[in-house]
Amino acid sequence: MTTTKRFTGLAAAVLLVAPGAGCGLPDDDRPRVISEDEAPLVLASPEAASSGAGRSNAQLYFVNELSRLTIVLRPVPVDDLEEAMEALLAGPTDDERGRAISTAIPVDTVLLDAEIDAETGIATIDLGPAGGGVSAVGGEEQRTAFAQLVLSAAEVDGVQAVRFEVEGTAIDIPTDAEPTADPVTPADYAALDPTLPPTTAPVPAATSTPVTVGEPPG
């Protein structure tokens, strides 16, 4: 399974500038190639324009006032899964809470480990505590919490899919369809993915029993 990063925008390493472009660059007799560092902010990639030199903005997923997922930027490296997950678990800032941005992930959820298999691109995220955190919620709130985790992890460079553990034990997690302990991707949460048009998101399948997170799959 593979995923693609969303909201990539203009990410070319070089840009071609025509004479007389009027962008603050010196006039030339002919087009020339410039580096991204020389490019005006309106032409530079979103990362270069918003984060500045030496920093990157990770895309994390929180919940807005309409109870839908929304993207929030955090100044953490886009290739560091552990930092991205810690930033997600830290929850919204005071300013974001003032704008009705929240999280479905319980405040007592802790990150025990987060690593990416370089060969497969599968990230393993180990959460705690057993019986608390994401284990203590159910239904739609639990599915939303895991959607936040999966979509945020998928934005990290090198992540193709995500599997979860609670205190080192593989667990079933809720998805748009059936609960699974297999690696999942943003496609498993298409109904909640804010980057997809609503008409393309499948209707979640009803489940007869709640998912108990924290127990090994049977």
For residue 16, tell me if it sits in a domain.
yes
CA distance 165 to 150: 13
* Together in a domain, 96 and 176: yes
Task: Count CB neighbours of 75 within 10 A.
Answer: 13
Domain extent for 112: 56-200
For residue 170, tell me if it sits in a domain.
yes
Helical residues (DSSP H) of 54-202, grouped into ranges? 81-89, 94-98, 139-154
- pLDDT of the residue at 197: 84
- pLDDT of the residue at 134: 92
* Together in a domain, 60 and 144: yes
The tens-digit pLDDT sequence of the chain (218 residues) is 444 455 443 333 333 344 444 445 455 555 544 444 554 443 444 444 444 444 479 999 999 999 999 999 999 999 999 999 999 999 999 999 999 999 999 999 999 999 999 999 999 999 999 999 998 998 999 999 999 999 999 999 999 999 999 999 999 999 999 999 999 999 999 999 999 887 444 545 444 344 455 554 44
* Together in a domain, 23 and 86: no
Model pTM score: 0.70
* Together in a domain, 45 and 148: no
* Together in a domain, 79 and 132: yes
Angle at 116 between CA 180 and CA 1, to 5 degrees: 50
* Together in a domain, 24 and 132: no
Q: In this structure, what are the phi and psi dihedrals at residue 119, rounded to the nearest 5 degrees?
A: -80, -40
For residue 39, tell me if it sits in a domain.
yes
Closest CA relative to residue 62, chosen from 24, 91, 32:
91
* Together in a domain, 196 and 95: yes
* Together in a domain, 20 and 70: no
Contact 29, 62 (CB under 8 A): no
- pLDDT of the residue at 102: 98
For residue 4, tell me if it sits in a domain.
no
For residue 99, tell me if it sits in a domain.
yes
For residue 82, tell me if it sits in a domain.
yes
Closest CA relative to residue 86, chosen from 51, 60, 64, 68:
60
For residue 212, tell me if it sits in a domain.
no
Q: Give the total number of structural domains in the chain.
A: 2
* Together in a domain, 65 and 171: yes
Contact 193, 186 (CB under 8 A): yes
* Together in a domain, 70 and 111: yes
| Dihedral, CA of residue 144, residue 187, residue 89 and residue 159, to nearest 10 | 170
For residue 148, tell me if it sits in a domain.
yes
* Together in a domain, 149 and 129: yes
CA distance 153 to 82: 9
* Together in a domain, 44 and 71: no
